[in-house]
Amino acid sequence: MAKIEGKDQVIMITASKGGFGGGTPEPSNVLGINPESGTVLWTYSNWSCWIPTSSAYDAGQNKLLIVGAYRAGAAMIQIEKKEDKYSAKELYKTADFGEHTKPPIYYKGCFYAQFSNNERRDGLVCMREDGKIMWKTMRAPVFDKGSMILVNDLIIATDGQTKVYLIEPDSTGFKPIASANLLQESKIVGNERIISIVGSNQNWAPIALADGKLLIRGQHQMLCVKVAQ
């Protein structure tokens, strides 16, 4: 959902055809829909992602940030209204910012996302609101499809593997405050599943915080940990 001209719109992103295996995909469609009538109010079709998992981000002032993986990158669009008709205007596109599984976080003029996918390992990326890339962690440290939430001006993030980070969002650089190795990997030995403490756990699920308790779910386990100062 996004507020466009003060009213709710449902923002839907369709999957593009093609693009698997390195081919050129056809455009995706980003649609603004009236939630009461189902009427399509506007369409943007100058961006392609054949598996658009991340939802669009309401960037305020009738702007939407669209992000994806599979060489999709990101696009910022402006929704304009003249009389009773809406239209979508592209402000910029970039191949250096995106997200595989979840929408980005916005804080004080910058977007933060984990841009590691099948084609690249940019890690945690900070992008200014105008599309300028401020920094990337790349593989030091690796952030690979983990989950992030903003709480009290701080980012709590899983790295998609075994670690949980507390990060100060800052456009000048990556500023970790603390980290903990909480999640374990499971592996198959014979016909039994064994928990080990090495390798990747692929914890792609969203994290949630309530009353100081952080819920984290990997592929083979779920944890509830107390977050305290």
Domain ranges of the chain: 1-95, 132-229
Listed residue (97, 17, 15, 116) closest to 57, CA to CA: 97
Q: Identify the pLDDT of residue 119.
A: 78
Read off the pLDDT of each residue in 127-145 and give the average, rounded to a whole number: 94
Q: Is 200 left (phi over 0), alpha (psi -120 to 50) or beta?
A: beta
At residue 7, φ and ψ (nearest 5 deg) are: -120, 150
Q: Identify the pLDDT of residue 173.
A: 97
Distance separating alpha carbons of residues 78 and 61, to the nearest angstrom: 8
Q: Which is more confidently placed, 21 or 116? A: 116
Q: Which is more confidently placed, 78 or 101? A: 78
Distance separating alpha carbons of residues 110 and 172, to the nearest angstrom: 11
How far CA 85 is from CA of 81, 82, 90, 94, 145, in Å, comes to 6, 5, 17, 28, 38
Q: What is the pTM of this model?
A: 0.89
pLDDT digits (tens, 9 = 90+) for 164-218: 999 999 999 999 999 998 877 656 566 665 555 444 467 888 999 999 999 998 7
3-state secondary structure of 45: coil
Listed residue (40, 45, 36) closest to 16, CA to CA: 45
